[in-house]
A and B are shown apart, each in its own frame.
Chain A
Amino acid sequence: MNISAHMIIVLTVVSLFSGLSLVYMNEYAEPLIKINQEKAMKEAIFKVLPDAKDVEKIEQDGRVIFKTVNEAGELVGYAFVAEGSGYQGIIKIMVGINPELEKLTGIDILESVETPGLGAKITQDDFKSQFKGISVSPGIEYIKAKKPEKPNEIQAVTGATVSSRSVVNILNTTVKEIKEIVKKIEPSGEGENE
């Protein structure tokens, strides 16, 4: 047989088998991957809004906001993903905020590539728990090497000021945006269960 024809036939047949098996694999994996992603997202939401039992996804102005309610159907707060640059790369944070949009209920770092042993400490509970109940107006601030006194202060991780500052900045910028958007969605809805 002609060598060119031989090459074409072999490559075609191999590619065909490759394509078929990938289609088959994708059929199996795709729904599972989708479920995993949704589950991971929900888990992160429930972590930052511990009272939440059910989640409603709202899309507005290119932002996704998760409105959460407790067992009785009362509003417990909103969750959203805040994103910005850290010391080495993008930091992605799941943020929970109370219905009045004044206090954070918690944060969880979804993705980060900070320096192991230093900046990576922002993913530890010691750092994250400081944001529980923190006041976001006029804005979160960080202080170094001493205990925070004001309700809007957190203590930066020692040796990782840039990472700590990045988290604070990302939160402040995104919270401001989210406040505007939530006001648009629910002009009179604020504080309905207070």
Chain B
Amino acid sequence: MSSVRLYTEFFKGFWKDNPAFRQLLGMCPLLAVTTSVLNGISMGIAMTFVLVCTSIVVSLIRKIVPNQVRIATFTIIIATFVTIADLFLKARFPPISKALGPYIPLIVVNCIILGRQEAFAKKNPLGRSFLDALGMGFGFTLALLLLGAIRESLGSGSILDIQILGTWFEPWVIMILPAGAFITLGFLIALMNLIDERLKKAA
């Protein structure tokens, strides 16, 4: 494990092990909140914050936590950071908190976070765990951003609430409904597989 270069640890979350498109984790917030770019980014940042903080703590205490109670310990740590993020958004950014609704508290059960603790932070030193969490968080944020941008532009004709398509454009309502989320995700994963295949052939 330690033979892996540090920058690989960071960048694997973007493409090779992208939590959304490759591991298909965290689908619930990914599909639910990406009706607009702003919602997607806010969700991504909140998730990254929780993931990075949890990974740091878990990596620091990894040697003293008994194996039998590790899941319970991780869950307490995750829940603490989620509550902190939730309270902070409510206090400082009430409109975002309102738009994301229950999906912030639901980060507690997001499998990306517990998954990274189990797969990485509990057996790797602080620096690597931090880079891994940061990369995964950014990778997920990127996925949310992409999905949000496609759905908002086609579903409402705008990006970040700024109208980019003229009045001639009749918004595709389906794009901001749940079905639009599934369709967009399917096309994006297909596109990623296609690019991967081409790259392999070229190599």
Chain A residues within CB distance 8 Å of chain B: 3, 6-7, 10-11, 14-15, 17-18, 21-22, 25-26, 28-29, 32-33, 36, 40, 115-118
Contact = CB atoms under 8 A, between A and B. Distances in A.
Contacts of B65: 10
A22 B173 contact: no
A25 B66 contact: no
A36 B90 contact: yes
Given A3-B68, A18-B80, A33-B91, A116 B176 contact: yes
Contact of B80 (A22, A40, A117, A118): A22
Chain B interface secondary structure, helix, strand, loop or mixed? helix
Nearest to A3: B66
Chain A interface secondary structure, helix, strand, loop or mixed? helix
27 contacts: A3-B68, A7-B69, A10-B64, A10-B65, A10-B69, A11-B69, A11-B73, A11-B76, A14-B76, A21-B84, A22-B84, A25-B84, A25-B88, A28-B87, A28-B91, A32-B92, A33-B87, A36-B90, A115-B177, A116-B155, A116-B176, A117-B155, A117-B171, A117-B173, A117-B176, A117-B177, A118-B173
Contacts of B77: 14, 18
A11 B92 contact: no
B94 A25 contact: no
Interface in B72-112: 72-73, 76-77, 79-80, 83-84, 87-88, 90-92, 94
Given A10-B66, A32-B91, A33-B87, 20 more contacts: A7-B66, A10-B61, A10-B69, A11-B72, A11-B73, A14-B61, A14-B73, A15-B76, A18-B77, A18-B80, A22-B80, A25-B84, A25-B87, A28-B87, A29-B87, A29-B88, A33-B91, A36-B90, A116-B173, A117-B171
Interface residues of B, number: 26
Given A18-B77, A116-B35, A116-B173, A7 B68 contact: yes
A116 B151 CA distance: 13
A15 B74 CA distance: 11
A33 B87 CA distance: 8
Interface of B: 35, 61, 64-66, 68-69, 72-73, 76-77, 79-80, 83-84, 87-88, 90-92, 94, 155, 171, 173, 176-177
Given A3-B68, A33-B91, A116 B177 contact: yes
A25 B83 contact: yes
Contact of A36 (B66, B72, B91): B91
Nearest to B178: A116
A118 B176 CA distance: 12
Contacts of B176: 116-117
